[in-house]
Amino acid sequence: MDIHGGATIKNITISGDISSTGRHVGSLVSNLSGSSTIDNCTSYVNITQNNTISGHIYAGGIAGLSNGTIKNSKNYGKIITVSTQGNCNTAGICGRSQGTIENCCNMGQISGNSINQQYSYVGGIAGISGDNGLTIGVISKCYNGGKIEGNASITPIVGGISAVNYYKVQNSYNNGEISSLKSSSFVGGVVGDNYGDTAITEKCYSINNIIVNSVNTGKVVGNHIYNSTTKNCYGPSSYSTVSGGSANIIECELKPEVEMKNQNFVDLLNSGQVDTPWLLDTGINNGFPILKWQI
């Protein structure tokens, strides 16, 4: 189902199973366009997409494609995509978003495998967010707790929040396991590939386990190129915060876990922000900061 013309889908919980051989699939909509909105929806739908149609595929726990707004929504379903005809764009919320995703989370297992194809883009929230050189595509105040896995014949790109970021990923965190065993993969705890001079990843952290066989692996960003920016991002031990490529890295560092569990770290994430979206954990995130909307 496609949604156009400023429509709103709101306050829906959906469960079940979807098996598709098409290119666009989501538990609620295949394509969310224009000024349309999905608000306060939850999916327990398990999606299996095995593409037999020529072209790239887009699968998300909420929507396949979107240039609208998805907010206050959650995915708990398992999303598994396999394509021999094009690249996989696979994620817990939206396969590819050129709109806004805010206050959302994924807790489902997400897997994308592009067989005999160059790339797969697999993320906890979005496969790809934005478009190259354009100021569209915002992910804000989201988190991933699901296992994320990507494979492709040449380069899998995997991120806890978004595989590729072209514009903004901000105030988000990942605590789910990220994996890709291809040596050429780009893997980041938050963003797999921060791409282009409009791309900025900021005020984020990742505490996930990363299972990889690639040098392009970062606790926060796996690869960053073409004057992209990673700013005020953090992670505990193992791997650098940002790896691969050359770009703007501003005040990013690894911190001991104990330092990431105190009020000073919450204040650091909130610094310079009017809405101060971060809170000290209330017992739901093993001591690490949470987002205000979670309580």
CATH number for position 202: 2.160.20.110
Cα separation, 193 vs 129, in Å, equals 11
Residue 267 is assigned to a structural domain of this protein:
no
How many structural domains comprise the chain? Answer: 1
**Token pair for 36:** 């349309």
Residue 57 is assigned to a structural domain of this protein:
yes
Q: Which helix (H) or strand (E) holds 83?
A: strand 79-83
Residue 283 is assigned to a structural domain of this protein:
no
Cα separation, 22 vs 51, in Å, equals 6
Residue 97 is assigned to a structural domain of this protein:
yes
pLDDT of residue 53: 80
Choose among 80, 104, 68, 71: nearest CA to 25: 80
Region class of 286: left (phi > 0), else alpha (psi between -120 and 50), else beta: left
The answer to whether 150 touches 127, Cβ cutoff 8 Å, is no
Residue 144 is assigned to a structural domain of this protein:
yes
pLDDT of residue 3: 62
Structural domain boundaries enclosing 166: 2-255
pLDDT of residue 220: 93
Please list the residues that pair with 36 across neighbouring strands.
none
pLDDT of residue 225: 84
Please list the residues that pair with 97 across neighbouring strands.
66, 129
Residue 260 is assigned to a structural domain of this protein:
no
Cα separation, 29 vs 111, in Å, equals 19
Sign of CA dihedral 54, 60, 64, 65: negative
pLDDT of residue 101: 98
Choose among 2, 165, 4: nearest CA to 98: 165
Residue 81 is assigned to a structural domain of this protein:
yes
pTM metric for this prediction:
0.96
Residue 7 is assigned to a structural domain of this protein:
yes
Going residue by residue through the chain, which has 295 residues, state the pLDDT in tens, using 9 for 90 and above.
Answer: 666 668 999 999 999 999 999 899 999 999 998 889 999 999 999 999 998 788 899 999 999 999 999 999 999 999 999 998 899 999 999 999 999 999 999 999 999 999 988 899 999 999 999 999 899 999 999 999 999 999 999 999 999 999 999 999 999 999 999 999 888 899 999 999 999 999 999 999 999 888 887 778 889 999 988 889 999 999 987 666 776 666 788 889 999 999 999 999 999 999 999 999 999 999 999 999 999 999 9
R_g of the chain, CA atoms, integer Å: 17
pLDDT of residue 273: 97
